[in-house]
Chain A
């Protein structure tokens, strides 16, 4: 192996991916792109292997290899021409969920197809039965927006106008979608151009050989990491509280991790049959989640490409909550079920790798989405927004407060940007005291965002979790605080759940609630579970938490048996 060229090529390709992401961030329209950075850019070879990727959204990083492979099975390489751009979002063919749009641009060197520049991004509005793409009450894929099989949105460098017209006729915010689609194309254009330059500089054969070696190198690094972990079979079960359709029915995520030598097999057999509501994960999500968990438990400096995923095998039986069959709904699988799977794998591995796991995190993105017609401009607006949660406590540190759940790395939208864009007034953004599970290392805190509706009407939907089943603690640590969504109608005193206020089946998953001017909505995000016996937490730290207001007097007494003289 030519390690010097490999080192140089690897960092150059990752830089190219990063530069693609910068273009995407700077030119896209949805806040979920440009503030939350819910996208990923990568490069793939002709086998569909991901050869480089930039550190944007982890869900999409793990999802990319399957996505590329599936698409390549449908479009023969011989039909791909220079200047084409292929678009795809189909959840049943390698996709993650309908909002996630994948763009591929072929890279040619001397007229020969060498690989693809790939950009995956979350488009906020995709049509379907609720604005903002997260319909908590969907019961089939057709409620969840437009499904796009692999199609050419550009052909030989020219816009395929018919495809554009079809796409933009089926969404509520065509102006914004147009901007986002253009941004994604600009990103793959840049990746293609730069990578073509790399082939020219080093020569086709040299790049191909080096990339092959690079994938082998990543695989070797990953196997070495896995070999250092104890062999064995590890199990864990966690539950999802509701699917938004069937009242009071819990759904099971079961994982069995088999670690033997340099291989790891994640088997989800035993998980619930697919749900009626949109909490089902696609195979892409179940795969991505397993990769995500393993990457968390191994050396983060291993170059991320398909090579490091080779030692990881996923068994996700069809027709279950971790591998949805057509035409069941799936939009929440990517945001909610993914982190729950990662948590379950960590729970299973807690004994094997105690220093590389944490107690349950909040494991939801809150996914409060809304749309309406702006009174000032008359334009339809739609927003997909997310919130941060508490991390679980770890064997060596408290859980972090208010961090995006583990399958994203998204930023929350600033209040001043949010209010400028959308007709809400945010009245407070404050930590939930006592929401960090008690422990020698406490869980991180969730927070509450309270909003006042300023528009005549805003149509709201949500896909979240942890309203009923609290984040679990580990090794004696306590549960983290649960989340909630509460509404206070104009002129009323009482805060009600969506179930109480609108007769919805679930408090955490619902769609198309009509929030009126003067109504208030409160989003409470869950904290993280605690790690270790709370009795072992040093008194000074409990006192600090009390003085800083992270825990109440009552909680200090109850969870830590700590009391201060009055």
Chain B
């Protein structure tokens, strides 16, 4: 989440692509995923990757 330079309002909201927590600019350490999206942690990158794989498999077999 990014504040305006004067700190009085929000310019943009950034959330973790996987779990959805707000990522505060200059406070939280965002991680770039292989898809170039922002994540809050490498756990979320891995979890999303596993889930995508798992769910696409279900589709194939059904």
Direct contact, A vs B (beta carbon within 8 Å): yes
Task: Please list the residues of chain A having a beta carbon within 8 angstroms of any beta carbon in chain B.
Answer: 70, 73-74, 92-94, 265, 267, 269, 283, 286, 313-318, 323, 325-326
Given the complex, which residues of A lie within 8 Å of B13, measured CB to CB? 92, 325-326
Distance in angstroms between the alpha carbons of A73 and B51 in the assembled complex: 30
Mask: chain B, 19-41; 1 = CB below 8 Å from A; 0 = not: 11110100110000000000000
Which residues of the other chain, A, contact B1 by a CB distance below 8 angstroms?
Answer: 93
Chain A residues contacting B28 (CB-CB under 8 Å) are: 73
Most-contacted residue by chain B among A269, A317, A318, A323 (CB, 10 A): A318
- Give the distance in Å from the alpha carbon of A315 to the alpha carbon of B49 in the complex: 13
**Contact at A283–B20, with CB atoms within 8 Å?**
yes
Find out whether the CB atom of B18 lies under 8 angstroms from the CB atom of A315: yes
Nearest CB of B to A389, in Å: 29
**Do B20 and A318 have beta carbons less than 8 Å apart?**
yes
Which B residues are CB-close (under 8 A) to A269? 51
Contact B18 A317 (CB under 8 A): yes
Name B51's contact: one of A92, A267, A283 (CB within 8 Å). Answer: A267
Q: Which residues of A contact B15 (CB under 8 A)?
A: 283, 318, 323, 325
Q: Report which B residues bind A (CB closer than 8 A).
A: 1, 10, 13, 15-22, 24, 27-28, 44, 47, 51
Interchain Cβ contacts within 8 Å, total number: 42
Question: Do B17 and A315 touch (CB < 8 A)?
Answer: no
Nearest CB in chain B: distance from A348 CB, A: 15
In the bound complex, residues from chain B placing their C-beta under 8 Å from that of A92 are 13, 22
25 interchain pairs, CB-CB under 8 A: A70-B22, A73-B24, A73-B27, A92-B13, A93-B1, A93-B22, A265-B47, A269-B51, A283-B21, A286-B20, A313-B19, A314-B19, A315-B19, A315-B20, A315-B44, A315-B47, A316-B20, A317-B18, A317-B19, A317-B20, A318-B15, A318-B20, A323-B15, A325-B13, A325-B15
Say how far A111's CB is from chain B's closest CB, in angstroms.
26
Please report the C-alpha to C-alpha distance between residue A94 and residue B20 in the assembled complex, in whole angstroms: 11
Q: Told that A73-B28, A317-B20, A326-B13 touch, could you supply 4 new A-B pairs with CB distance under 8 A? A: A315-B20, A318-B17, A323-B20, A325-B15
Say whether B17 contacts A317, CB under 8 Å: yes
Q: How far is the CB of A88 from the nearest CB of chain B, in Å?
A: 14
Chain A residue numbers with a CB within 8 Å of B44 are 315
Residues in chain B near residue A318, CB distance under 8 A? 15-17, 20
- Which B residue sits closest to A316, measured CB to CB? B20
Q: Given the complex, which residues of A lie within 8 Å of B18, measured CB to CB? A: 315, 317
Q: How far is the CB of B29 from chain A (nearest CB, A)?
A: 13
Contact, CB under 8 Å: A283 / B22:
yes
Q: Which residues of A contact B10 (CB under 8 A)?
A: 326
Q: Are A316 and B19 in contact (CB under 8 A)?
A: yes
Nearest chain A residue, comparing its CB with the CB of B12: A326
A388 to chain B, nearest CB (A): 32
Q: Which residues of B contact A73 (CB under 8 A)?
A: 24, 27-28
B30 to chain A, nearest CB (A): 13
Nearest-Cβ distance from residue A480 to partner chain B, whole angstroms: 31
Give A267's nearest chain B residue, CB to CB: B51
Q: Which residues of chain B come closer than 8 Å to A313, judged between CB atoms?
A: 19
Nearest CB of B to A71, in Å = 11
Closest to A92 in B: B13
Shortest 5 CB-CB contacts between residues of A and residues of B = A318-B15, A323-B20, A316-B20, A318-B20, A315-B19
Per the bound structure, the CA–CA distance linking A326 and B1 in Å amounts to: 11
Least CB distance, B3 to chain A, in whole angstroms: 9
- Measured in the bound complex, the distance between the Cα atoms of B51 and A234 in whole Å is 14
CA distance A315 to B18 in the complex (A): 6
- A198 to B: closest C-beta gap in Å: 30
Q: Which residues of B contact A283 (CB under 8 A)?
A: 15, 20-22
Bound-complex Cα distance A313 to B51 (A): 15
A265 smallest CB distance to B (angstroms): 8
Q: How far is the CB of B16 from chain A (nearest CB, A)?
A: 7
A contact residues around B21 at 8 Å (CB) = 283
* B19 contact set on A, CB distance < 8 A: 313-317
What is the minimal beta-carbon distance from A149 to any residue of chain B, in angstroms?
Answer: 8
Given the complex of chains A and B, what is the CA–CA distance between A326 and B14 in angstroms? 11
**Closest Cβ neighbor of B50 among chain A residues:** A258
Output the least CB separation between A231 and chain B (Å): 16
- A321-B47 Cα distance, complex, nearest whole Å: 20
CA distance A267 to B16 in the complex (A): 14
Chain A residues within 8 Å of B22, by CB? 70, 92-94, 283
Q: How far is the CB of B55 from chain A (nearest CB, A)?
A: 8
Residues of chain B lying within 8 A (CB to CB) of residue A93: 1, 22
Q: How far is the CA of A326 from the CA of B20 in the complex (A)?
A: 13
- Please report the C-alpha to C-alpha distance between residue A318 and residue B21 in the assembled complex, in whole angstroms: 8
